[in-house]
Chain A
Amino acid sequence: MNPSDSPTSAATTQATAPLLESRDLHVRYGAINALNGVSLRVMPGQIVSLIGANGAGKTTLLKTISALHRAKTGDILYNGESIRNLAPHEIVRRGLCHVPEGRMVFANLTVQENLQMGAYLLTDRKVVAQELDYVFTTFPRLKERLHQMSGTLSGGEQQMLAIGRALMGKPRFLMLDEPSLGIAPLLVKAIFEKIVQINREHGITILLVEQNANLALEIAHHAYVMETGVIALKGESRELRANPDVKAAYLGGR
């Protein structure tokens, strides 16, 4: 479960240009500066973790990349193309999917309908069936709950649905915002294993926002530490795990 131990993975060999890059992003909410010049790069095939305290601006960064918020200045490049002025659905069309904070499953829709919405842009039924198969092998629980209203799923099941729904869109790049939020530790472990599996088996590049820094650093190739709207530290996650400041602030001391 530790990709940084396997330097021969696709991630490190083919990495030349970043798949996603934010350049000096500034984002405001009224008078509040939520992002103060955030630059970050994610290489294709990697898992990159973004950790930081509450209110650091992690969710804001993901929402800005997905165009749910607009940056005041700065640019966002995906696959070499600026996506800063695109609408959210145009960004999804390029294979950049986002599992939002708090899951946001459509509680008024069944599990099946949620998954169908995840595949909204896919027109080929065969591809949709393929993706559905993949989601069911990844999260067998969802198959059992297919006709249940999503609002009545447990928190863990809703998280599986949120991730499964994003996978239905056949993403090339997946952003996950706190998948461990409000979930029992054992299940968190299982979900993180799935995240690694998604990355390894399907070559999906992942940007992971997490409060649980231990786990986040364990599965990531690279990581960024965010503090009040700026990137405070970055590097290989191995290095960051050994960094005394990171240890003290995010990894529970020692």
Chain B
Amino acid sequence: MSQFLQQLINGLALGSIYALIALGYTMVYGVLRFINFAHSDVLMLGAFAAYFLNPSIERTFGPQSIPGALLVVLLSALICAALGILIEILAYRPLRNRPKLTVLITAIGVSLFIEYTCQHRSVFRAETRPFPNLFPSRDFQWLGLAVNSNDLVVLAATAVLLTALWFIVQRTKTGTAMRAVAFNPQAAALMGININRVISFTFGLGSALAAIAGILYALKARGIEPLMGVTPGLRAFTAAVLGGIGNLPGAALGGFVLGALETFAGGIPAISNYRDGIAFALLILILLFRPAGLLGKPQTEKV
């Protein structure tokens, strides 16, 4: 039982990170109908932003102070929001009316460009750097479980962010405009909605979430390198598909399901080497029976 609870906490923490990343994939898909493969690199850039910002902020706030850590996270999120918006304007907007395959291949190109540029000697270099503990971190026992405070940070941050995102999308005018654009961009334009601005907002929001997820991932992994986004990015993309691409609660749910699956499969020694295989086999099974994903509606999409 305690073994189970232990894995559940680990799974939830990992799943939280996947969920935060998956939301960005699914939001962009919602408004533009393509997968932004560079999303996984934005999360890496978020971790690097925090890495480089931290020393100077520590100097003012002291090491591992909570306000200082929050400031690092906030600034990294803002930097990545700007980067995400810039990527859309420079790479995707000129192709807005081209076939989706063209945009998809461009997205892969942008992703590779960022990864290999960052690996260059004069940029971040390829090797792993130790990631600082931004928050006061300690291990403690709780009901016989070994818990690291970083896991609690991850869970708390995710709870706050999911609530904030829900509020923005469901309760604000800009969020409603996002949903309108996702449903029918032409009709949205006829309402006086500036489509480009809504798309920029979507990229900014998704990238900010990715940056925070990248920092949380780095806190757990304790190291960062330019390809660090690839694996969680792929898992989160899978989570978005699992939940029903374009569906926000679906992306969050998919993230948690995938995180839990991976952790539980990894916790059973006999199969732990196959944990990705098992997670993906289950994914295929689920999609066989629910092609639109867990929460996705069967496609009745009109052109």
Contact = CB atoms under 8 A, between A and B. Distances in A.
Given A113-B176, A116-B173, A117-B176, A88 B189 contact: yes
Contact of B193 (A66, A89, A98): A89
A89 B194 contact: yes
A245 to B, nearest CB: 34
A232 interface: no
Size class of the A contact interface (CB-based, 8 Å): 20 to 34
B192 A120 contact: yes
Given A117-B177, A120-B177, A109 B183 contact: yes
B186 A165 contact: no
A17 interface: no
A92 B179 contact: no
Interface residues of B, number: 18
Interface string A74-116: 0000000000000111001100011010001111110001001
Contacts of A98: 190
A89 B181 CA distance: 13
Interface string A8-33: 00000000000000000000000000
Given A106-B179, A109-B176, A109-B179, A118 B187 contact: no
Contacts of B190: 66, 68, 88, 92, 97-98, 100, 104, 166
Interface in B266-284: none
Interface string A128-166: 000000000000000000000000000000000000011
A92 B189 CA distance: 8
B188 interface: yes
A104 B194 contact: no
B195 to A, nearest CB: 8
Interface of B: 173, 176-177, 179-180, 182-184, 186-195
Task: Give the top 4 A-B pairs by smallest Cβ distance, nearest first.
Answer: A92-B192, A88-B189, A104-B187, A121-B192
